[in-house]
């Protein structure tokens, strides 16, 4: 079970990336999808294996989200990466690939 965050410099970017990931998932693996507009900021995907995906716009309000894997918008500033994104990273034992850029 992993908490997977899709960080975007805007809500639209994080929503679009999570939608791309969702489009490539096997429908039989998906337990629940919750999606509103980027303006309200809620887009989550829960899989049958317990993995939980969440789209988040990087801001000071996003500091509390803990994650084991992340998709990170390459347009996010270094300051935000250091103070918002990477400060809540929880590594999994034996996993060396914790994030990827988009």
Alpha-carbon distance values, 30 to 33, 54, 74 (Å): 8, 14, 27
Please report the pLDDT score of residue 26 as a whole number: 98
Please report the pLDDT score of residue 45 as a whole number: 98
Please report the pLDDT score of residue 14 as a whole number: 96
Please report the pLDDT score of residue 40 as a whole number: 80
Which regions of the chain are under pLDDT 70? Answer: 91-97
Please report the pLDDT score of residue 49 as a whole number: 97
Q: Quote the domain boundaries for residue 75.
A: 3-101
Work out how many domains the chain is built from and give that number.
1
Residue 85: name the closest of 100, 101, 70, 102 by CA.
Answer: 70
Buried b (16+ CB within 10 A) or exposed e, 54-90: bbbbbeeebeebebbbbbbbeebeeebeeebbeeeee
CB 8, CB 73: distance < 8 Å: yes
CB 9, CB 57: distance < 8 Å: yes
């Amino acid at each position: 079970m992993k908490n997977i965050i899709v960080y975007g410099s805007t809500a639209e970017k994080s929503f679009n990336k999570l939608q791309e990931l969702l489009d490539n998932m096997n429908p039989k693996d998906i337990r629940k999808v919750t999606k509103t507009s980027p303006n309200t900021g809620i887009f989550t995907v829960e899989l049958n294996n317990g993995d939980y995906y969440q789209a988040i716009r990087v801001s000071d309000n996003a500091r509390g989200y803990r994650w084991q894997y992340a998709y990170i918008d390459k347009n996010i500033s270094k300051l935000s990466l250091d103070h918002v994104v990477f400060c809540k990273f929880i590594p999994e034992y034996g996993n060396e690939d914790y994030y990827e850029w988009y």
